[in-house]
């Protein structure tokens, strides 16, 4: 995927700033791998694929403290734009 199709996401975590470049392939990979009994590994994989190389060690330190799911959720939420969906009721239904 071309870099132009990726979205830059910057998280302020404690005193650190973590930079990510997220594309639809990485986002979809996270969604597809996430299972009720398997959340940490997909979260860590997603973060490693997206993190700026200069921030990787800091990000891994946070993951080693148990924050992978929270970080991945924050990055994914910033990647995906807000979408309002409503269901229109048809006449006669």
> For position 2, what pLDDT does the model report?
46
How much is the average pLDDT of 54-74?
97
1 or 61, which is more confident?
61
DSSP-derived 3-state class of residue 56: helix
Question: Where residue 91 falls among pLDDT bands split at 50, 70, 90?
Answer: confident
Give residue-wise pLDDT tens across range 33-63. Answer: 999 899 999 999 999 999 999 999 999 999 9
Residue scoring higher pLDDT (74 or 92): 74
Domains of the chain: 3-79 (3.30.2220.10)
13, burial (CB in 10 Å: exposed 0-12, middle 13-18, buried 19+): middle
Alpha helices in the chain (DSSP H): 24-33, 40-50, 56-64, 68-79
| pLDDT (0 to 100) of residue 3 | 53
């Amino acid at each position: 995927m071309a870099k132009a199709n990726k979205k830059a996401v910057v998280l302020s975590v404690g005193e650190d700033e973590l930079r990510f470049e997220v594309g639809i392939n990485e986002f979809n990979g996270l969604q597809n791998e996430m299972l009720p009994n398997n959340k940490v590994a997909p979260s860590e994989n997603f973060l490693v694929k997206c993190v700026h190389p200069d921030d990787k060690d800091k990000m891994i330190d946070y993951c080693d403290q148990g924050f992978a799911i929270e970080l991945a959720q924050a990055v994914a939420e910033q990647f995906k734009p807000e979408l309002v969906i409503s269901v229109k009721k048809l006449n006669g239904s």
